Amino acid sequence: MPSDGIIAVDSQSAPVRVGEWRRFTRVFLGRGLVIFGFLVILLLVLTAIFAPFFAPHDPYTIDLDSRLAKPSATHWLGTDSVGRDTLSRVIFGTRTSLLVGLVAIGIAASIGMTLGLVAGFYGGWVYSVIMRVVDAIMAFPMILLAMVIAALLGGGIVNVIIALGVSMMPSYARLMSAQVMSIKQTDYVMAERSLGSSNMRIMFQHIAPNCLPPLIVLVTMMLGATILAEAGLSFLGVGIEPPTAAWGAMVSEGREYLLSDPVLSIAPGAAIMLVVFAFNMIGDGLRDALDPRLRGII
């Protein structure tokens, strides 16, 4: 994550204007990996929405007669220890991953950006108080903090989202405050102030929209990290609760049968990798297209 000092140098980056749209699309869509990322995400979103149609079996039906079945025509990826179809569970796991990832990052970004906006705009002791708290939260390894919060709240999808949202908030607050501090010095903000606009109006109508480009990049780039973190929590047993299909938990469950049925662990892990890779590629492309100067900062 960026440190305050480095961001300040590059935060003069101009927001995308309509005239730059062509350049943006050319750079952004000019890369094979970005297109690949988009196609994968599109496919996964469709899979998540239409999971019941794609899944060959019900992901929750227990069938003890065909437990730990090897991959076959009926069960393409075999079945788990209670006979549930692995492929169907991987397909339904898409819902969990995307839902948790998107909502958690939404929470993290909105809390973080609001705090950063207030801190950067008012400066002084408001800045000091908010940023020291943000520093303190950043002192915890993200996965550890999320684990503590999720375990205390008692697991489950909503609690995991809250835990990840809080733990991932600090980087947005930092980037936002750095952005706001440089933008509030610009002429158009000064002009607005001299016209007697209220602080709220200046903050939300004039400063916030102009801070967005790097934050959009950060959101995209952190989506993959959030999905990885959710998988990690579920793997450790403090995340999504069984029987809900979650990739991290499936990798963990499959670990016991690694010797006989490695597919049980490998398949959900491959799914995690695919979705994270796709989001990372889109994030990289977006960063280079929106503002090449952000390279190396976010």
Partner 1 sequence: MGTYLLRRGLQAVLIILLVSVIIFFTMRLLPGDPILMLVTASEAESATQEQMDALRHEFGLDKPMIVQYFNWMGGVVRGDLGKSILQRAPVGKEILRRLPITFHLGSLAFLMSIIFGIPAGIVCAIRRGTWLDTTVTFLTNIGITIPNFWLGIIFIYVFAVNLDWLPVQGYTSPFIDLAKNTRQIIMPVICMSFFPIASAARQTRSSMLEVMHQDYIRTAWSKGNSERVVILRHGIKNALIPVVTLMGMSISMIIGGAVIMETVFNIPGMGRLAVASVLNQDYPYVQGITLIIAITVVLANLLVDILNGWLDPKIHYD
Which residues here bind partner 1, judged by CB under 8 A?
Answer: 1, 3, 5-6, 132-133, 135-145, 147-149, 151-154, 224, 228, 231-232, 235-238, 248, 251-252, 254-255, 258-259, 262, 265-266, 269, 272-273, 276-277, 280-281, 284, 295-297
* SS3 state of residue 113: helix
Nearest to 85 by CA among 263, 230, 270, 234: 263
Nearest to 58 by CA among 41, 81, 75: 75
Return the number of the residue (130 or 180) whose C-beta is nearest partner 1: 130
d(CA 234, CA 150) in angstroms, rounded, equals 10
Return the number of the residue (74 or 128) whose C-beta is nearest partner 1: 128
Closest distance to partner 1 from the beta carbon of 296 (Å): 4
Nearest to 164 by CA among 113, 228, 95: 228
Nearest to 273 by CA among 59, 97, 42, 28: 97
Closest distance to partner 1 from the beta carbon of 77 (Å): 15
Which residues, in sequence order, are CB contacts of 81 under 8 Å at separation 6+?
Answer: 67, 68, 253, 256, 257
Closest distance to partner 1 from the beta carbon of 132 (Å): 6
Return the number of the residue (215 or 227) whose C-beta is nearest partner 1: 227
Question: What is the number of H-type helices and E-type strands within the chain?
Answer: 14, 0
Closest distance to partner 1 from the beta carbon of 2 (Å): 8
Return the number of the residue (108 or 272) whose C-beta is nearest partner 1: 272
Return the number of the residue (118 or 264) whose C-beta is nearest partner 1: 264
Nearest to 264 by CA among 93, 60, 70, 73: 70
Closest distance to partner 1 from the beta carbon of 64 (Å): 25
